[in-house]
């Protein structure tokens, strides 16, 4: 148990500071402070000693140097059981600081508000993290508070222990404090990486906030958690059971495709992180019905992402099928009334979700794979018609739609499409020919379209057999990346069968 006699308070976030001051006053704790915090404490009519008075040294460099003083850090860092330390403290006429309450300059919020580099730099806190690290290191003697969320806990601790704190309490706060300084430094480090266009520095730090602990991971014997760079995600659950690890995985897969589609348009159905139906028909109800028709069996127990507001009419259709999650750009009141009749159905409002051009991370054991996301916007210059037969406007639209969906399907990926709707999807096969067969089988089983069918492949056909299988099934146009040693054979086959063939300059594996 350590009795708190002297506290140093320096906070940017002055919320709820009065409650902590009242508690410290009750326990007769001497308070030291500086700058805006000192003024706030005096304004609230509590006794306080200014840091410059305590150290007998005034603030310099426009306030950049206030608490960086031996009297402050010796007061925090000295070991109370060390005779050497205590002799030095006595010799220098220094006194102990038993409690440090600090939260940092709002660097992360500053990044959201301005791109002015000078303003950003001035919001890098130096003294605050230094004091926190000192206090956290010396947790056996010093209590450190780094968030307004810890105030109530501290007040209760002081009340319970008559102005003292326990070692267990201090140790816990030390762990949190070091996490806080590491997080803060990570944000700053990544800012400098970003402004210097350094995507892959020699050492990389990651910062994220815990959002939720799901019930378990992919399976009940696995633990899981979800973190975000932000304090909350830009998706909001408005109904249903707690989201699971698998739900989140499917939601992100669905949103990745949805946000690549035209604004306020498109329905995506996901099962096990793979699309099993996508349509961008302009009529939203027709869009959902068409996407579902692509593979209604796989859609059972899946995730539907509506890149538009869900209305009563669409909700009635959605309610006919067992689904785990429905995502939308909001729901109208009548739609909510209908969908909420299923108490476990998770409803997600993703109207504020923005897919950012950021890095993608995959971890395995102690290693992390990092790459830029595949969200390249297609340009007509990225494609070349290599067949004698040229695509008409309708074919070109369907080919680009199919190719866009294809890049979000697990490789090897084949997507068949008609009227900007998928009619068959083959995914995740070691053989591209097998993916062709699966896509064709799905189309024959579920599709009733009389319109021409186009096909997209996420990578080149290594042999003619894949494109041959597609053409035999009725495909009239194919889009694929170039690069095979047999590209000329593929082109020759397309010309012999009067098939439109377009080569893409970019490949789109997704593993």
Per-residue confidence (pLDDT) for residue 2, from 0 to 100: 85
CATH of 2-195, one of 3.40.50.1380, 3.60.20.40, 1.10.357.140, 3.40.630.30: 3.40.50.1380
Give the residue extent of every domain in the chain.
2-195, 236-349, 381-504
Instruction: Provide the Cα torsion 167, 170, 175, 177; round to 10°.
Output: -160
Looking at every residue in the chain, the average pLDDT score rounds to: 92
| CATH code for the structural domain at 381-504 | 3.40.140.20
pLDDT in tens, 210-237: 999 998 999 999 999 999 888 778 899 9
Tell me the two tokens of residue 458.
């996420």
Q: How far, in Å, CA of 23 to CA of 2, rounded?
A: 16
Question: What are the residues whose beta carbons fall under 8 Å from the beta carbon of 160, sequence distance 6 or more?
Answer: none
Q: Same fold for the domain at 2-195 and the one at 381-504?
A: no
Q: Which of 137, 239, 342, 389 is catalytic?
A: 137
Radius of gyration of the chain (CA): 31
- In this predicted structure, the answer to whether residue 329 has a pLDDT above a threshold of 80 is yes
- In this predicted structure, the answer to whether residue 296 has a pLDDT above a threshold of 80 is yes
Q: Are 434 and 442 a contacting pair, CB within 8 Å? A: no
Question: What are the residues whose beta carbons fall under 8 Å from the beta carbon of 58, sequence distance 6 or more?
Answer: 52
If pLDDT is split at 50, 70 and 90, which confidence band does 445 have? very high
Q: Are 297 and 441 a contacting pair, CB within 8 Å? A: no
Q: How far, in Å, CA of 395 to CA of 153, rounded?
A: 65
Per-residue confidence (pLDDT) for residue 373, from 0 to 100: 84
- In this predicted structure, the answer to whether residue 328 has a pLDDT above a threshold of 90 is yes
Question: What are the residues whose beta carbons fall under 8 Å from the beta carbon of 409, sequence distance 6 or more?
Answer: 274, 275, 415, 425, 427, 428, 458, 510
Number of H helices and E strands in the chain, helices first, is 19, 23
Other C-beta atoms within 10 Å of 149: how many?
10
Per-residue confidence (pLDDT) for residue 508, from 0 to 100: 83
Per-residue confidence (pLDDT) for residue 326, from 0 to 100: 98
Per-residue confidence (pLDDT) for residue 299, from 0 to 100: 96
Instruction: Provide the Cα torsion 398, 401, 404, 409; round to 10°.
Output: -80
If pLDDT is split at 50, 70 and 90, which confidence band does 377 have? confident
Q: Which of 18, 272, 342, 397 is catalytic?
A: 272
Helix, strand, coil % over all residues of the chain, rounded to 5: 40, 20, 40
Q: How far, in Å, CA of 315 to CA of 317, rounded?
A: 5
Other C-beta atoms within 10 Å of 188: how many?
20
pLDDT in tens, 341-364: 999 999 999 999 888 777 888 888
Catalytic, 272? Answer yes
By mean pLDDT, which of 56-70, 167-181, 335-349 is the weakest? 56-70
Instruction: Report whether CATH 3.40.140.20 matches the domain 236-349.
Output: yes
Catalytic, 137? Answer yes
pLDDT in tens, 42-61: 999 999 999 888 988 888 88
């Amino acid at each position: 148990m350590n009795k708190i006699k002297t506290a140093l308070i320096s906070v940017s976030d002055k919320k709820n500071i009065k409650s902590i001051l009242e508690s410290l006053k009750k326990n007769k704790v001497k308070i030291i402070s500086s700058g805006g915090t000192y003024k706030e404490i005096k304004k609230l009519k509590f006794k306080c000693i200014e840091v410059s008075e305590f150290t007998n040294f005034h603030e310099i460099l426009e306030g950049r140097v206030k608490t960086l003083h031996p009297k402050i850090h010796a007061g925090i860092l000295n070991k109370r059981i060390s005779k050497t330390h205590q002799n030095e403290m006595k010799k220098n006429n220094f006194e102990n600081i038993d409690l440090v309450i600090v939260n940092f300059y709002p660097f992360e919020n500053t990044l959201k508000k301005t791109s002015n580099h000078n303003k950003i730099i001035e919001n890098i806190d130096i003294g605050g993290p230094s004091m926190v690290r000192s206090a956290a290191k010396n947790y056996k003697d010093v209590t450190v508070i780094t968030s307004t969320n810890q105030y109530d806990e501290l007040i209760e601790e002081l009340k319970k222990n008559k102005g003292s704190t326990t070692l267990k309490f201090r140790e816990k706060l030390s762990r949190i404090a070091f996490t806080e300084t590491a997080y803060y430094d990570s944000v700053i480090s990544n800012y400098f990486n970003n402004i210097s266009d350094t995507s892959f520095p020699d050492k990389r730090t990651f910062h994220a906030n815990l959002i939720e602990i799901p019930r378990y991971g992919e399976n009940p014997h696995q633990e899981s958690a979800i973190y975000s760079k932000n304090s909350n995600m830009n998706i909001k659950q408005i109904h249903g059971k707690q989201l699971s690890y698998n739900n989140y995985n499917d939601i992100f897969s669905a949103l990745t495709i949805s946000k690549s589609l035209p604004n306020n348009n498109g329905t995506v159905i996901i099962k096990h992180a793979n699309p099993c139906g996508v349509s961008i028909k302009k009529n939203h109800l027709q869009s959902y019905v068409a996407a579902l028709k692509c593979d209604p069996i796989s859609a059972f127990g899946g995730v539907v992402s509506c890149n538009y507001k869900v209305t009563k009419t669409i909700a009635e259709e959605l309610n006919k099928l067992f689904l785990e999650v429905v995502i939308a750009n909001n729901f109208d009141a009548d739609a909510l009334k209908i969908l909420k009749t299923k108490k476990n159905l998770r409803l997600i409002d993703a109207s504020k979700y923005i897919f950012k051009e950021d890095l993608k991370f995959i971890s395995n054991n102690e290693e992390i794979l990092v790459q830029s996301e595949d969200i390249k916007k297609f340009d007509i210059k990225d494609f070349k018609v290599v067949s004698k037969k040229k695509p008409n406007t309708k074919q070109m639209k369907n080919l680009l739609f199919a190719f866009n969906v294809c890049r979000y399907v697990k490789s090897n990926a084949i997507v068949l499409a008609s009227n900007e709707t998928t009619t068959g999807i083959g995914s995740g096969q070691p053989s591209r020919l097998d993916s062709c067969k699966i896509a064709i089988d799905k189309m024959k089983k579920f599709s009733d379209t009389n319109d021409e069918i186009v096909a997209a492949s996420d990578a080149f056909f290594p042999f003619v057999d894949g494109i041959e299988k597609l053409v035999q099934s009725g495909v009239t146009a194919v889009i694929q990346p170039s690069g095979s040693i047999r590209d000329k054979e593929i082109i020759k086959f397309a010309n012999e069968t009067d098939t439109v063939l377009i080569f893409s300059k970019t490949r789109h594996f997704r593993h």
